């Protein structure tokens, strides 16, 4: 598993060549406005999980086009004061998991909205949210669903769900709506960056080994799924290359992050074969807010794992205390 991407000196200055579409801001403003118009307040039901130190609610909130999206809302039991909240997005193929699988953010004293991913949740952890929208021909997975148009593309729905999860989190009981962070790894890390680029009210962003970044380069150099779904699709749909990358420019974290303002911490594994380091640096170097990145020279897509988790906890604690 050698380091097979650019040398570290080039990675630290690498920039994506993907240009932001001229109507990017209007496209997302219209998408979010329409989905908010069709939405309704979140529905919250208390669960009995057997965990006496954690309170957990089953939450259903409105996502893209008003579609119902599931989430778990975890918070330390018996807290009287309003807590900062971390909105957590899942990795590729993952769902919100079981109700008793509590994220580290809640163990650290934060409320956490653990957001399901529509149509996923059948690979590494379970999910409960279907995607009611169909698709043209696509490679098995999610990366090419509806890819011939920005309007039908799968990640238009997922990114909208992710943005509106923050709306929902602010309305939940016991939340300090002025202190909302977003976090995730891999797909979740890319979604966190995208959300930060589409909102101006976050206090922190945690993006570990982010997916969905510099998608054209990723399709050309990644050696493992999911990015190989793109190259497989284009090996069959040869006439679709320009159309596909025109679509993807609206959803690329290395594009959307150029509008972000919240402080962010990133991580990268320099032997990552799933999200090549240059694509992670594309997101990091484009990110417009205050930022830092932790490099793990001998790690693949696991990045810094538990070691980095301690780093991000210490970083977030400082941000929230301030």
62, 272, 278, 308: the catalytic one is: 272
Note the residue count of the chain: 322
At 35-86, the pLDDT tens digits run 999 999 999 999 999 999 999 999 999 999 999 999 999 999 988 899 999 9
At 280-290, the pLDDT tens digits run 999 999 999 99
- Does a structural domain hold residue 1? no
16, 35, 186, 213: the catalytic one is: 186
- Does a structural domain hold residue 132? yes
Q: Which domain holds residue 82?
A: 8-321
Residue 283 contacts residue 253 (beta carbons within 8 Å): yes
| Whole-angstrom distance, CA of residue 188 vs CA of residue 291 | 18
Question: Considering the entire predicted model, what is its pTM?
Answer: 0.98
Hey, what are 253's tokens? Answer: 């974290």
**Looking at the 3D structure of the chain, how many domains does it have?**
1
- Does a structural domain hold residue 109? yes
At 146-181, the pLDDT tens digits run 999 999 999 999 999 999 999 999 999 999 999 999
One DSSP character per residue, 109-155 reads T-EEEEE--TT--BSSSB---------SS--SSSTTTTTT-TTT-HH
- Does a structural domain hold residue 57? yes
- Does a structural domain hold residue 260? yes
Q: Does 272 qualify as catalytic in the annotation? A: yes
Q: Kindly report the CATH number assigned to the domain that includes residue 210.
A: 3.40.50.1820
- Does a structural domain hold residue 268? yes
């Amino acid at each position: 598993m050698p380091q097979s991407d650019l040398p570290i000196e080039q990675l630290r200055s690498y920039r994506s060549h993907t240009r932001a579409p001229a109507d990017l801001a209007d496209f997302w403003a219209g998408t979010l406005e329409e989905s908010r118009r069709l939405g309704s307040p979140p529905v919250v039901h208390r669960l009995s999980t057997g965990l006496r130190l954690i309170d957990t609610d089953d939450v259903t909130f409105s996502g893209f086009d008003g579609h119902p999206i599931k989430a778990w809302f975890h918070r330390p039991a018996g807290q009287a004061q309003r807590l900062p909240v971390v909105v957590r997005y899942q990795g590729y193929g993952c769902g919100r998991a079981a109700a008793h699988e509590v994220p580290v953010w809640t163990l650290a004293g934060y409320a956490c909205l653990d957001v399901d991913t529509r149509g996923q949740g059948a690979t590494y952890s379970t999910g409960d949210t279907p995607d009611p929208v169909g698709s043209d021909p696509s490679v098995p997975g999610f990366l090419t669903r509806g890819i011939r148009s920005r309007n039908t593309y799968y990640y238009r729905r997922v990114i909208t769900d992710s943005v509106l999860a923050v709306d929902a989190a602010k309305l939940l009981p016991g939340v300090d709506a002025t202190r909302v962070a977003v976090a995730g790894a891999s797909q979740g890390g890319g979604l966190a960056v995208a959300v930060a680029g589409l909102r101006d009210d976050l206090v922190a962003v945690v993006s570990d080994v982010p997916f969905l970044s510099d998608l054209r380069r990723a399709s050309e150099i990644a050696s493992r799924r999911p990015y190989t779904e793109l190259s497989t699709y284009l090996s069959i749909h040869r006439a679709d290359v320009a159309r596909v990358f025109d679509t993807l420019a609206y959803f690329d974290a290395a594009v959307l992050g150029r509008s972000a303002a919240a402080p962010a911490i990133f991580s990268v594994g320099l032997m990552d074969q799933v999200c090549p380091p240059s694509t992670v640096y594309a997101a990091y170097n484009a990110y417009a807010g205050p930022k830092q990145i932790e490099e793990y020279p001998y790690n693949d897509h696991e990045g810094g794992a538990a070691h980095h988790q301690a780093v991000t906890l210490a970083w977030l604690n400082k941000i929230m205390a301030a």
